[in-house]
Chains A and B, each alone.
Chain A
Amino acid sequence: MADVTAGDAFADKIPKRTNPIVKFIVAQPLGFVGFLIVLLYFVLAVGAQWIAPYHPEEVDFGAMLTGPSPEHLFGTDQYGRDVFSRLVYGARTALAVGMLSAIVGCTLGAILGATSGYFGGIIDNVIQRLVDIMLSFPIIVLAMVVVAVLGRNMIAGIDANLIVAIALPMVPKMARIARSSTLSIAQMPFIDAARAAGYSHARIVLRHILPNIVAPYLIMLTAFIAQAILLEASLSFLGLGVTEPTAAWGLMLSGSSADFYQAAPWMILFPGLAITLAVFAFNLLGDSLRDWLDPKMKV
Chain B
Amino acid sequence: MLGYIVRRLLMVIPTLIGVAVAVFFLIRVMPGDPVVVKLRADGAAVTEETIQAERKRLGLDKPLMVQFTDYMIGLTRLDLGKSLWTGESVANEIAIRFPVTLQVAIMATLIAVLIAVPLGTLCAVYRDTWIDNLIRVLAVSGLAIPGFWLGMLIILALLYFFNWLPKIGYVSIFEDPVANLSALFWPALSVGYRYAAVVTRMMRSALLEVMREDYIRTARAKGVYESLVTRRHGLRNALLPVVTVVGLEFAFLIGGLVVTEQVFNLNGIGKLFVDATARGDFTLIQGLVLLIATVFVVVNLLVDLLYAALDPRIRLT
Taking beta carbons and an 8 Å cutoff, which residues of A are in contact with B?
1-3, 5-8, 30, 129, 132-133, 136-141, 144-145, 147-149, 151, 226, 230, 233-234, 237-238, 250, 253, 258, 261-262, 265, 268, 271-272, 275-280, 283-284, 287
Whether A261 and B205, one on each chain, are in contact in the complex, defined by CB atoms closer than 8 angstroms, is: no
Which of B15, B137, B144, B280 gathers most chain A CB within 10 Å? Answer: B144
Other-chain residue from A141, A233, A262 in contact with B146 (beta carbon distance below 8 A):
A233
Query: How many B residues touch A, CB cutoff 8 Å?
Result: 56
In angstroms, Cα B141 to Cα A279, docked, is 8
The majority secondary structure among interface residues of chain B is helix
Whether B140 and A136, one on each chain, are in contact in the complex, defined by CB atoms closer than 8 angstroms, is: no
CB distance from B98 to the nearest CB of A (A): 15
Given A261-B152, A261-B159, verify A141-B292 contact (CB < 8 Å).
yes
Collect the chain B residues with CB atoms within 8 Å of residue A151's CB: 30-32
B172 within 8 A of A: no
Other-chain residue from A253, A261, A284 in contact with B149 (beta carbon distance below 8 A):
A253
In angstroms, Cα B209 to Cα A8, docked, is 10
Given A138-B292, A144-B273, A261-B156, verify A280-B146 contact (CB < 8 Å).
no
Collect the chain B residues with CB atoms within 8 Å of residue A137's CB: 255, 289, 292-293, 296
Whether B277 and A145, one on each chain, are in contact in the complex, defined by CB atoms closer than 8 angstroms, is: yes
Collect the chain A residues with CB atoms within 8 Å of residue B143's CB: 2-3, 226, 279-280, 283
In angstroms, Cα B180 to Cα A233, docked, is 30
Given A5-B201, A234-B148, verify A133-B18 contact (CB < 8 Å).
yes
**Chain B residue with Cβ nearest A223:** B143
- Report B1-47 residues with CB < 8 Å from chain A CB: 15, 18-19, 22-23, 26-27, 29-32
Whether A238 and B262, one on each chain, are in contact in the complex, defined by CB atoms closer than 8 angstroms, is: yes
**Chain B residue with Cβ nearest A261:** B156
- Report B166-207 residues with CB < 8 Å from chain A CB: 198, 201-202, 204-205
Collect the chain A residues with CB atoms within 8 Å of residue B209's CB: 6
Taking beta carbons and an 8 Å cutoff, which residues of B are in contact with A?
15, 18-19, 22-23, 26-27, 29-32, 127-128, 133, 137, 140-141, 143-149, 152-153, 155-156, 159-160, 198, 201-202, 204-205, 208-209, 251-253, 255-256, 258-259, 262, 273-274, 277, 280, 285, 289, 292-293, 296-297, 300
Collect the chain A residues with CB atoms within 8 Å of residue B137's CB: 30
CB distance from A275 to the nearest CB of B (A): 5
In angstroms, Cα B286 to Cα A282, docked, is 35
CB distance from A277 to the nearest CB of B (A): 7
In angstroms, Cα B205 to Cα A287, docked, is 13
Whether B18 and A129, one on each chain, are in contact in the complex, defined by CB atoms closer than 8 angstroms, is: yes
Whether B145 and A276, one on each chain, are in contact in the complex, defined by CB atoms closer than 8 angstroms, is: yes
**Chain B residue with Cβ nearest A144:** B277
Collect the chain B residues with CB atoms within 8 Å of residue A268's CB: 149, 152-153, 156
CB distance from A161 to the nearest CB of B (A): 11
CB distance from A157 to the nearest CB of B (A): 21
**Chain B residue with Cβ nearest A143:** B258
Collect the chain B residues with CB atoms within 8 Å of residue A262's CB: 156, 159-160
Collect the chain B residues with CB atoms within 8 Å of residue A141's CB: 255-256, 258, 273, 289, 292
In angstroms, Cα B276 to Cα A144, docked, is 11
Collect the chain A residues with CB atoms within 8 Å of residue B274's CB: 144, 238
7 contacts between A and B (CB under 8 A): A136-B292, A140-B256, A140-B258, A141-B256, A149-B30, A151-B31, A237-B259
In angstroms, Cα B254 to Cα A136, docked, is 11
Collect the chain B residues with CB atoms within 8 Å of residue A230's CB: 144, 146
In angstroms, Cα B299 to Cα A136, docked, is 10
Collect the chain B residues with CB atoms within 8 Å of residue A276's CB: 141, 144-146, 149
Collect the chain A residues with CB atoms within 8 Å of residue B127's CB: 8
Whether B152 and A277, one on each chain, are in contact in the complex, defined by CB atoms closer than 8 angstroms, is: no
Whether A258 and B152, one on each chain, are in contact in the complex, defined by CB atoms closer than 8 angstroms, is: yes
Q: What 5 pairs between A and B have smallest CB-CB spacing?
A: A138-B256, A272-B149, A279-B144, A280-B144, A136-B296
Collect the chain A residues with CB atoms within 8 Å of residue B259's CB: 140, 234, 237-238
Other-chain residue from A30, A148, A275, A280 in contact with B277 (beta carbon distance below 8 A):
A148
Collect the chain A residues with CB atoms within 8 Å of residue B155's CB: 261
Collect the chain A residues with CB atoms within 8 Å of residue B146's CB: 230, 233-234, 237, 250, 272, 275-276, 279
Other-chain residue from B15, B31, B140, B152 in contact with A272 (beta carbon distance below 8 A):
B152
CB distance from B41 to the nearest CB of A (A): 15
CB distance from B239 to the nearest CB of A (A): 15
**Chain A residue with Cβ nearest B256:** A138
Can you add 15 more A-B contacts, CB < 8 Å, to A137-B296, A279-B144?
A132-B15, A140-B256, A140-B258, A144-B273, A144-B274, A144-B277, A145-B23, A145-B277, A148-B27, A271-B149, A272-B153, A275-B146, A276-B145, A277-B144, A279-B143
